[in-house]
Amino acid sequence: MIITRAVTVLLEDHLITFTRAVGLLRRRNLPVRSLAVGPTVTPGVSRLTIMIQSDEPTAERAVQHLQKVVGVRAAAAFPARDGVTRELALVKVRASGERYGELLDVVQLYHASVVDDSPDAVIVELTGSEAFVLSCIRALERFDVLEVARSGAVALELGLTEAGTRVPANI
């Protein structure tokens, strides 16, 4: 079934390792929706989260190929609905004086926050699922959106799982 799936990868935090992992996604022609990378609590190890739109065998194959990359410590895949997925977005909006209050209402409605309030434009910070972030950006589009920076999603699977601990059932 083609659904959104998260592929999470723990890898050494060298650019070359990251390049290899990401290059592999391109080379294997994987349907990537977003990428996010950042440090973990282990020094020298980063976590790469790849959201893909695929069936299960494709996601498993991505995991197996990623596990072969030198510098990748672990990789795992799970359906996005079996985990918690969060994305952060910063949206720079211009709202003229009379619509400023209206903007604040929208921000409040989405439990977002204004993190910068410059005279010309405000920056709104939103966090949530991909759908939530998209819906919020759409709501903000009734104002003058100048720039949007989205982080790409990070995800954790529910329950007692750890990247790279499962193998396909027939092996």
CB of 45 to another protein, least distance (A): 12
Burial 28-52 (b: 16+ CB within 10 A, else e): eebebbbbbbeeeeeeeebbbbbbb
Q: Which of 82, 135, 75 is nearest to 111 (CA)?
A: 135
Q: Binding marks (x or -) toward another protein, 42..71, rule CB under 8 A?
A: ---------------x---x--xx-xx-xx
Q: Is 145 in the site for another protein (CB under 8 A)?
A: no
User: H-type helices in the chain, by residue range?
Assistant: 15-27, 56-67, 100-109, 130-140
Q: Binding marks (x or -) toward another protein, 8..37, rule CB under 8 A?
A: --------x--xx--xx--x----------
Closer residue to another protein, CB minimum distance, 25 or 103: 25
CB of 27 to another protein, least distance (A): 5
Q: Which of 154, 94, 143 is nearest to 123 (CA)?
A: 94
Q: Which of 158, 154, 169 is nearest to 81 (CA)?
A: 158
Residue 152 identity (one-letter amino acid): G
Cα-flanking dihedrals φ and ψ of residue 132, to 5°?
Answer: -65, -45
For residue 125, list its beta bridge partners: 90, 113
Residues 74-103 that bind another protein (CB under 8 A): 74
CB of 70 to another protein, least distance (A): 4
CB of 128 to another protein, least distance (A): 33
CB of 21 to another protein, least distance (A): 11
Which residue ranges make up the site for another protein (CB under 8 A)? 16, 19-20, 23-24, 27, 57, 61, 64-65, 67-68, 70-71, 73-74, 164, 167-168, 170-171
